[in-house]
Amino acid sequence: MKRIKIKKLFVYFLFLMVVNLLGVVSLNALAEEEQNNENNTTVDLAPNSKSAILIDLNTGKVLYEKNSHEQLYPASMTKIMSMHLILEEIEKGNMTWDEVITVSDHAASLGGSQIWLEPNEKMTVEDLFKSVAIASANDSVVALGERVAGSEEMFVKMMNERVKELGLKDTNFMNPHGLTDEDHYSSAYDMSMMARDLLKDHEETVTQYTSLYEDYIREDTDDKFWLVNTNKLVKYYEGIDGLKTGFTPEALYCLTATKRVGNMRLIAVVMGAETSQKRNADIVNLIKYGFSQYEVVDYVDKGVVMDQYENMMMKPNNVDVVTKEPISFLVKKGTEIKDLEQDIEYTIPKNGAKAGDTIGKITIYKDGDPYEVELTVTEDIEKAGIFQLFGRMFKNVIYGE
């Protein structure tokens, strides 16, 4: 009897160990599943698309991705890069919005999306750009590219040079419009970075056009032309104000879309959807996910004193330095930001500085990533005179100051 009891106790003890072990395994599996869900590795937010990505404009942080480096045909999303180079020429003063361009035979011969330009037709830069941003006009983007670089080939060279400057590895352009060429390709990741580059430099200008659902060119003429946005989400989904659609039979349906809420702007890209409806559904999923899961948290406001700059060779010899811009972070909603490590570097002004001038930067580290903001002085500083320097040296010797 005693031996039987011992055997029963042993079996019971073994049973408890197995149950406990299974419980630990289950908890570990659950924790792993939750971690995967948080990193979006098990949830397909863009089930209708071959590849997709969601990023934050300010930081470039990737919030979701799916096959984001797969090289695919970008179709007319190509024009994101084209529009950027065109806007740069205008910003530099090399071209004006009201300048009139004479359309070449080559530009007028383009197929696909177009506004039916005629050879030798004259049109303003603004109307040509508007037709690119709204109606994705291939003939217009070539006319503008020829004006910027002298020829379509040279403009494409500029596009590829910018791709290299951005450090993008999945892209090669053969034209400024996106009509299919086997050597013309990009990826969701690269397109998101090109869109980010465009919006960082020209957000207000480009969205002024890409947010329009309809407009007109050739007004007050017999050839008045109605432009309708190829991106229907600018009308049917609140807040989306760009950026560029794409479609060819080879590329299928593509879209780079963007939306701003307060100080947070997201960029979503999908490529290779079978229909425009499926493409739009995936974009909406990505945008909804981003704004429901993430938020921008202010860490330091603009104009906050971060340090006191001291320089015995200057007058005054110490002055407050403040942040030139606010310091904000994109975080998962509900995340608490505690004290973060920071470094301050100064650029010593040789001849002094005026109030508001940048004399250094502060670098704040969050999760190992550096975030830099310029620091400015709050008052004028100038070289100290010989008598002031002598007086300071005397004080230092006598009083140890």
Q: Which residues are annotated as a binding site for substrate?
A: 244
- Give the chain's radius of gyration (CA, Å): 29
> Considering only CA atoms, which of 160, 180, 176 is closest in space to residue 168?
160
Query: Is-catalytic flag, 332?
Result: no
How far is it, in rounded angstroms, from Cα 283 to Cα 84? 22
CB atoms within 10 A of CB 48: 21
Asked if 71 contacts 185 with a C-beta cutoff of 8 angstroms, the reply is yes
Q: Which residue shows structure tokens 């984001």? A: 68
- Which of 49, 76, 186, 192 is an active site residue? 76
- Which of 50, 66, 79, 259 is an active site residue? 79
Q: Euclidean distance between the first and final Cα of the chain, in Å?
A: 92
- Which of 51, 136, 186, 187 is an active site residue? 136
Q: How many CA atoms lie within 13 A of 312 on its CB side?
A: 10
Please spell the DSSP secondary structure of 69-98, one letter per residue: T--B--GGGGHHHHHHHHHHHHHHTSS-TT
Q: How many CA atoms lie within 13 A of 77 on its CB side?
A: 34
How far is it, in rounded angstroms, from Cα 189 to Cα 194? 9
Query: Is-catalytic flag, 211?
Result: no
Q: Which residues are annotated binding-site positions?
A: 244
How far is it, in rounded angstroms, from Cα 329 to Cα 339? 13
At 270, is the secondary structure helix, strand, or coil? strand
Query: Is-catalytic flag, 109?
Result: no
Contacts of 328 (CB under 8 A, 6+ apart): 58, 263, 296, 297, 298, 299
How far is it, in rounded angstroms, from Cα 222 to Cα 226? 12
For 318, left (φ over 0), alpha (ψ -120 to 50), or beta? beta
Partnered with residue 363 across adjacent β-strands are 343, 372
The token pair that represents 204 in the structure block? 């207000």
Residues tagged active-site = 76, 79, 136
